[in-house]
């Protein structure tokens, strides 16, 4: 049995390399359902009207139609002290809607969660979930056009996470706005989800059915080579496409930041490799509810933006 496991592990890098060796389809380009994560500076008073104008100009000509602006973090009990953490949220939403009316502004809310993080939010507690919904209602009252959750690390099979999605979706549906979520990667090898980092493919599908948008955090993979990382993104794209409802917009995350450590090798995890991998995974599919999401605005360089635009937005 041990020999079989060793052989499987040895074959896996080869499969990633092969997945990256193909040529992307010419049709695998933006469908104008892309997104961008924005940092907290947009809602705490550090940004100006000139900054909003520059952001709108940067988004022009891309496929980005949603921005997730960090409006939290939520407290561990699910509450959100709006006046303290996001005093300029209403200003930003109003300014952004004037400068880029075709871009939807969603509130990015989240926290670390139990049992992996303690102290952390307990999503199995109905009272906590009730306060999360109330906090979501409060930011929608500020003018936000959607709710984007990023709870980490959610273990595969978590019933509390599914419950908070169901309960919040009642709210967002009543407001006619999307509920979106930042999702863990799908288990690349059988039963690795027991380690806590990955979700099973079935659980990913359960989450995707409860939201309008699901954005895979397809980075921090520990893969040391660009070809392996790009092949990994291709495989993640294929796995996610198989279980994401046609009505749900699936987005693959792009690592628009630089780190060099055992979990994220900057030389390997590049925007260009992620774009190419996502295109390879998408293949010739004409699925319209598909996009890419850049993480994150305050670390994205001109080179990151160029890799996204040239690889995904510009027709050959």
Q: Which distant-in-sequence residues (6+ apart) come within 8 Å of 165 by Cβ?
A: 149, 179, 181, 207, 210, 211
Q: How many CA atoms lie within 13 A of 96 on its CB side?
A: 27
Kindly tell me if the per-residue pLDDT of 2 is higher than 80. no
DSSP 157: T
Rg (CA), the chain: 19
Kindly tell me if the per-residue pLDDT of 9 is higher than 60. no
Write out pLDDT tens, residues 253-271.
999 999 999 999 999 999 9
pLDDT at residue 86, as a whole number: 96
Confidence of residue 314 (pLDDT cuts 50, 70, 90): confident
Q: Between β-strands 264-265 and 260-261, what pairing exists: parallel, antiparallel or unpaired?
A: antiparallel
Angle between helices 159-175 and 201-208 (to 10 degrees): 20
Write out pLDDT tens, residues 26-73.
999 999 999 999 999 999 999 999 999 999 999 999 999 999 999 999
What's the angle, vertex CA 198, arms to CA 221 and CA 185, rounded to 5?
A: 60
With contact defined as beta carbons under 8 Å apart, do 218 and 252 qualify? Answer: yes
Cβ atoms within 10 A of the Cβ of 302, count?
A: 8
With contact defined as beta carbons under 8 Å apart, do 196 and 155 qualify? Answer: yes
With contact defined as beta carbons under 8 Å apart, do 165 and 181 qualify? Answer: yes
Output the pTM of the full model. Answer: 0.95
pLDDT at residue 192, as a whole number: 57
Write out pLDDT tens, residues 186-196.
999 866 555 66
Q: What is the mean pLDDT of the chain?
A: 94
**DSSP secondary structure letters along 22-70:** S---TT-S--S-EEEEE-GGGTTT---HHHHHHHHHHHTTSSEEEEEEE
Closest CA to 288 of 241, 246, 243, 252: 246
Question: Alpha-carbon distance 214 to 203, whole Å?
Answer: 13
Compute the 3-state secondary structure of the chain and give helix, strand, coil in percent, each to the nearest 5: 45, 20, 40
With contact defined as beta carbons under 8 Å apart, do 135 and 80 qualify? Answer: yes
The count of residues in the chain is 316
With contact defined as beta carbons under 8 Å apart, do 184 and 208 qualify? Answer: no
C-alpha separations of 154 from 106, 121, 202 in Å = 21, 11, 15
Question: E strands within the chain?
Answer: 34-38, 64-70, 104-112, 147-152, 179-183, 213-216, 249-255, 260-261, 264-265, 290-295
In the predicted model, what is the mean pLDDT of residues 268-289? 97
């Amino acid at each position: 049995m041990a020999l079989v496991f060793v052989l499987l592990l040895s074959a896996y890098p080869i499969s990633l390399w092969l997945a990256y060796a193909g040529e992307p389809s010419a049709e695998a380009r933006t469908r104008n359902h892309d997104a961008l994560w924005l940092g907290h500076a947009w809602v705490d008073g550090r940004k100006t009207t000139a900054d909003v104008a520059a952001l709108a100009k940067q988004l022009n000509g891309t496929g980005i139609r949603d921005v997730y602006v960090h409006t939290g973090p939520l407290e561990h009990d699910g509450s959100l002290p709006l006046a303290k953490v996001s005093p300029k949220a209403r200003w930003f939403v109003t300014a952004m809607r004037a400068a880029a009316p075709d871009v939807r502004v969603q509130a990015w809310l989240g926290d670390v969660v139990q049992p992996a993080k303690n102290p952390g939010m307990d999503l199995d507690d109905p009272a906590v979930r009730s306060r999360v919904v109330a906090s979501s209602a409060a930011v929608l009252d500020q003018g936000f056009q959607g709710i984007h959750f990023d709870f980490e690390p959610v273990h595969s099979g978590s019933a509390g996470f599914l419950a908070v999605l169901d309960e919040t979706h009642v709210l967002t549906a009543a407001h006619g706005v999307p509920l979106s979520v930042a999702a863990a990667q799908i288990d690349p090898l059988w039963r690795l989800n027991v380690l806590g980092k990955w979700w099973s493919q079935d659980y990913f599908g359960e989450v995707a059915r409860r939201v309008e948008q699901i954005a895979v955090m397809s980075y921090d993979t520990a893969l040391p080579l660009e070809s392996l990382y790009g092949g990994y993104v291709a495989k993640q794209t294929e796995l996610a496409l198989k279980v994401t409802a046609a009505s749900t917009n699936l987005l693959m995350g792009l690592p628009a930041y630089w780190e060099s450590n055992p979990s994220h090798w900057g030389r390997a995890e590049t925007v260009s490799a992620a774009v190419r991998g996502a295109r390879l995974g998408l293949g010739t599919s004409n699925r319209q509810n598909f996009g890419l999401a850049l993480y994150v605005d305050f670390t994205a360089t001109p080179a990151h933006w160029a890799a996204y635009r040239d690889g995904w937005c510009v027709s050959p």
